[in-house]
């Protein structure tokens, strides 16, 4: 018995030390050490300087704008992502294969291309902009639109596999017990989709908070009005104000880490819930 | 009650019962999705080519063969040719470590690998300025030895490596997890080395997913803008990649030239999507 337990602890495939060592070395050199530099560099500046940099009114306005636009875009993506996933996995209709294939396009299309294209489309004379009664370019609405474009695939691709693997028997049981389709969706299907949908939402939110390329063109970058947080880092760097750029980066990194923690908690929670079924 | 006993195809009873009301719901949902799809994806895609060809084919072609545009294309290809193979090798290594061995803290390691996905690309560029720029002692030492990393090609390569770091392992880990370690254990028991096992047993099983990851990594490293923008220094003909060249042209109101380069990049993106769909079918067949 003790021998079995002992051999279980040892890896059945050789090479663990070497591969583990190489991969953590690469991870540390490329990601962990450079990222930790942001914190070390900020800590060296002292608390007062750091606090002044991160609470500068113009910077605070940029956090608020980034948070608000990223959150609204992620919400829109949650709703439409669920809709896309549902329609793509449940219905057959013309152009379905094309829709399914191109949903991921925002992942493959360079953000700068998306940026200049959306700006042109939504400008006063653009194909879409000229029909709209309100301004989109150079407003927070424009920023949100760009972020919706960038984040669309996240929720779709998280929810779609869950819906495709869903057992039809459960839905049919619910229907045969007298539930309306809406009740079946709300009580039976939706709870199962929730963890995937929330993970997709958080990923889209995290991506949108840090997004730069697609936003800078359509935003117009007016101080206090349409400056996003990543752009503030860029502006400070161009002024050679490295301490301020790093301080803003610290705030954004802390928010990113909090979101990563949230995503992990959601996944942990869904694993426990499925395990209890 | 009897009707439920009949051997129905999945979902058939469901759709047959609520025919009219179900049809209305179904078609309105499909319409909403199609409208959203056209206004958010198709119209932008079409407009890229429309803007690029606005002044005719000749202007389009001449803005692509222009010297700065060509050097931007060359630099982008050069960076991608370095970045993708390195991240492919390490992506496989990460996926191998995570799926073929058991150890504590595995989920934490996965979180660390995915980190660059959640970090702003601008920060991805900033960290290499902090590490190799004039303000760090390492940077000063390197610069005094005439090694310029920041505002130069090595900086662009590093920033792109950082941003595209998780792509390949992300595609491999779920597949390799579902495949388990039985084949590898058998191969080891029959006397093969770990390397032989990887080459002859694991690699054939993951080749399509690996190719898929490489395609995605490739698309992102061609198109990366934020991180590269921070470290490049925007020197024309030297450190301008294709997305940076688009930005320069656009800011100078040379819209046709900007959209001409954008159209090439869009074609690459569409090609990526086509290959992706083909590969997904292969992967599906393999896991069945």
A95 domain residue, yes or no: yes
Measured from the Cβ of residue A51, the count of other Cβ atoms closer than 10 Å reads 11
Q: Which residue has the higher pLDDT, B17 or B223?
A: B223
Report whether pLDDT(A4) > 80. Answer: no
A248 domain residue, yes or no: yes
Enumerate the H helices of chain B as residue ranges: 2-5, 12-17, 19-37, 43-52, 56-64, 67-100, 106-118, 121-132, 137-144, 153-163, 167-179, 182-189, 194-197, 203-223, 226-232, 242-251, 255-287
Enumerate the H helices of A91-139 as residue ranges: 96-102, 105-108, 111-122
Question: Within an 8 Å CB–CB cutoff, is residue A38 touching chain B?
Answer: yes
**Nearest CA among B146, B203, B149, B194 for reference residue B172:** B203
A127 domain residue, yes or no: yes
Residue B145 host element (H or E):
none
B139-168 pLDDT, tens per residue? 889 988 988 888 899 999 999 999 999 999
Count Cα neighbours of B22 within 13 Å in the Cβ-side half-sphere: 13
A21 domain residue, yes or no: no
Question: Within an 8 Å CB–CB cutoff, is residue A203 touching chain B?
Answer: yes
A11 domain residue, yes or no: no
A10 domain residue, yes or no: no
> What is d(CA A59, CA A64) in angstroms, rounded to the nearest whole number?
9
Question: Within an 8 Å CB–CB cutoff, is residue A13 touching chain B?
Answer: yes
A117 domain residue, yes or no: yes
Question: Within an 8 Å CB–CB cutoff, is residue B258 touching chain A?
Answer: yes
A213 contacts in B (CB within 8 Å)? 121, 225-226, 229, 243
> What is d(CA B171, CA B213) in angstroms, rounded to the nearest whole number?
6
> What is d(CA A69, CA B195) in angstroms, rounded to the nearest whole number?
49
| Structural domain boundaries enclosing A61 | 46-276
> What is d(CA B220, CA A112) in angstroms, rounded to the nearest whole number?
12
A115-164 pLDDT, tens per residue? 999 999 999 888 998 888 888 889 999 999 999 999 999 999 999 988 88
pTM of this prediction exceeds 0.80: yes
> What is d(CA B163, CA B140) in angstroms, rounded to the nearest whole number?
25
Q: What is the CATH number of the domain that holds A190?
A: 1.10.3720.10
Percent of chain A whose predicted confidence (pLDDT) is above 70:
95
| Mean pLDDT for chain B overall | 88
Taking CB atoms and an 8 Å limit, are B44 and A11 in contact across chains?
no
A23 domain residue, yes or no: no
Q: Which of A31, A217, A249 sits opposite B250 (nearest CB)?
A: A217
ipTM of the complex: 0.88
B77-107 pLDDT, tens per residue? 999 999 999 999 999 999 999 999 999 999 8
Residues 6+ apart with CB under 8 A from A24: B109
Overall domain count for chain A: 1
């Amino acid at each position: 018995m003790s021998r079995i337990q002992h051999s279980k602890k040892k890896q059945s495939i050789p090479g663990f030390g070497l591969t583990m060592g190489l991969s953590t070395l690469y991870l540390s050199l490329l990601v962990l050490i450079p990222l930790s530099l942001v914190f070390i560099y900020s800590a060296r500046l002292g608390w007062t300087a750091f606090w002044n940099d991160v609470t500068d009114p113009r910077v605070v306005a940029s956090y608020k704008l980034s948070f608000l636009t990223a959150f609204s875009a992620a919400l829109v993506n949650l709703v439409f992502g669920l809709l896309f996933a549902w329609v793509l996995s449940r219905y057959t209709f013309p152009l379905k294969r094309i829709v399914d294939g191109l949903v991921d396009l925002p992942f493959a299309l360079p953000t700068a291309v998306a940026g200049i294209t959306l700006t042109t489309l939504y400008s006063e004379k653009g194909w879409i902009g000229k029909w709209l009664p309100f301004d989109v370019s150079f407003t927070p609405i424009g920023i949100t639109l760009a972020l919706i474009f960038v984040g669309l695939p996240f929720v779709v691709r998280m929810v779609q596999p869950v819906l495709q693997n869903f057992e039809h028997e459960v839905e049919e049981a619910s229907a045969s017990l007298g539930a309306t389709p809406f009740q079946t969706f709300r009580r039976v299907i939706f709870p199962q989709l929730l963890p995937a949908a929330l993970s997709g939402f958080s990923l889209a939110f995290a991506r949108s908070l840090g997004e730069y390329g697609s936003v800078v063109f359509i935003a117009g970058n007016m101080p206090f009005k349409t400056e996003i947080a990543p752009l503030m880092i860029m502006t400070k760097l161009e002024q050679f104000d490295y301490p301020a750029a790093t301080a803003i980066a610290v705030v954004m990194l802390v928010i990113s880490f909090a979101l990563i923690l949230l995503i992990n908690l959601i996944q942990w929670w869904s694993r426990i819930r499925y395990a209890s079924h | 009650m009897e009707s439920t006993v009949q051997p129905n195809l999945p979902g058939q009873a469901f759709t047959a019962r609520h025919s009219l009301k179900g049809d209305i719901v179904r078609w309105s949902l499909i319409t909403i999705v199609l409208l959203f799809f056209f206004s958010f994806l198709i119209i932008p895609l079409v407009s890229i080519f429309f803007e690029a060809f606005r002044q005719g084919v000749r202007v389009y072609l001449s803005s692509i063969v222009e010297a700065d545009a060509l050097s931007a294309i060359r630099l982008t290809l050069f960076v991608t040719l370095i970045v993708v193979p390195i991240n492919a090798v390490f992506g496989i290594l990460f996926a191998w470590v995570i799926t073929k061995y058991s150890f504590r803290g595995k989920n934490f390691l996965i979180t660390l690998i995915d980190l660059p996905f959640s970090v702003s690309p601008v920060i991805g560029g900033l960290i290499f300025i902090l590490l190799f720029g004039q303000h760090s002692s390492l940077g000063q030492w390197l610069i005094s030895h005439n090694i310029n990393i920041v505002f130069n090609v090595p900086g662009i390569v590093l920033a792109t490596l950082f941003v595209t770091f998780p792509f390949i392992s992300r595609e491999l880990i779920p597949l390799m997890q579902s495949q388990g370690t039985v084949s590898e254990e058998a191969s080891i028991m029959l006397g093969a080395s770990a390397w032989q096992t990887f080459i002859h047993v694991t690699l054939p099983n993951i080749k399509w997913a690996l190719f898929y990851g490489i395609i995605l990594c490739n698309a992102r490293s061609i198109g990366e803008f934020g991180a590269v923008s921070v470290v490049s220094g925007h020197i024309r003909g030297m450190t301008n990649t294709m997305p940076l060249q688009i930005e320069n042209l656009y800011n100078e109101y040379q819209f046709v030239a900007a959209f001409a380069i954008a159209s090439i990049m869009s074609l690459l993106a569409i090609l990526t999507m086509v290959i992706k769909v083909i590969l997904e079918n292969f992967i599906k067949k393999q896991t069945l």
